[in-house]
Amino acid sequence: MRKSVKFIQQDIPTMIFFIKKALRSGLLLALFAMLPAVGCKTHPAASPKEGEMEEVVAAAPVVREKMKFAELTPKKAALAQSLKTYFAQLNKSGFNGTALFAENGEIVYSEAFGYANLKTKEPLTMESAFQLASVSKPITSLAVLILKQEGKIGLDDSVRKYIPELPYPGITIRHLLSHRSGLPNYMYFAEQDWPNKDIPMKNQDVIDLMVQHQYKPYYLPNKRYNYCNTNFVLLATIVEKVSGMKFEDFVQKRIFDPCKMVNSRIYNKNVSPINTNPVVGYPTGRAEAENTFMNGVVGDKGVYCSVYDLLMLDQALYTDKLITEATRKEAFTPQHKDLRINDNYGLGWRLDLAESFNPAIYHTGWWRGFRSYFIRELGEKRTIIILCNTPRASRFNTRDLRERF
């Protein structure tokens, strides 16, 4: 397995640079020896005051065990070769990214193609972390469901219980998770009404714009399904208010670290004006994606993960490590009577339940040159993960990907 960059909970760009340099130089032991000097001491826990965020002290780096690779029986070897041929052809057409196919948590096929940075020609690896775009939404959903399990949030609670200034009554947390709120999409009104696009927005700014302008909702609450990024911005805000932690810190502590997702983090432009992640997005040609003012908004996007990290998350979701079986069942239950059973939405997940013996729980995403696919077949226990950072040969049909496996 290739060496990886391990993100520490403190979001310090220079730290990331030196960690990466040390790993490449084989100085891992020396780096670990230095860690206590950069704030890894423990302190007595103290509850944050109301309205304040809990201070998170950097912990020792999480170490992940070696990934498991399947024993290639003749059948699996033929399948792996077929996938290798398929992606090699895509690579000739411009596919630039990483792909992983696993069964029962064991990797049948995985490969990296192309570059993290087209200018420097830094190659992609299986440890390269990509912007997940809307594949961030299942992770935001998990954060909410963890708090729900602890009795701190009710799925049928009014959103105004947590965000009282929100000028839209009748919306519940369940409506946000299932895209039944009817709210307008912040990406449209922010583009129009955010006054200085040199200053990144915060989640609270999205709420403030809605309060100020009283945008007309698209639909009444629970009227119908309407996919909307605003829903998950509000959910991330609620996680912060209930937990007393920054959203990024909560996800790191309660999801990334327990799952040993060593390359994962949430990028927030308000915290780090410069995005130091090695993998760059290219929306068109060789032009790098703009680090837009919307990159200060989290919950709907902003999570960076590698394919290995997503496989770790996939496997954790077969256990009670994050959420219980009862909570998982609720999250994977269709929430829309007006949608087809093979194209429905649960609580933060897309659902294809056409095959009752092998339901598919998945999400896809696109943002600023990045495309992501995270597909889980629960019956066959198969996992398909594809992450790309250029648009060429990066559009996949989820059903077609499943049939190839």
For the annotated catalytic residues, the residue numbers are 134
What distance in Å separates the CA atoms of residue 124 and residue 114, rounded to the nearest whole number? Answer: 6
The two structure tokens encoding residue 254: 């309660």
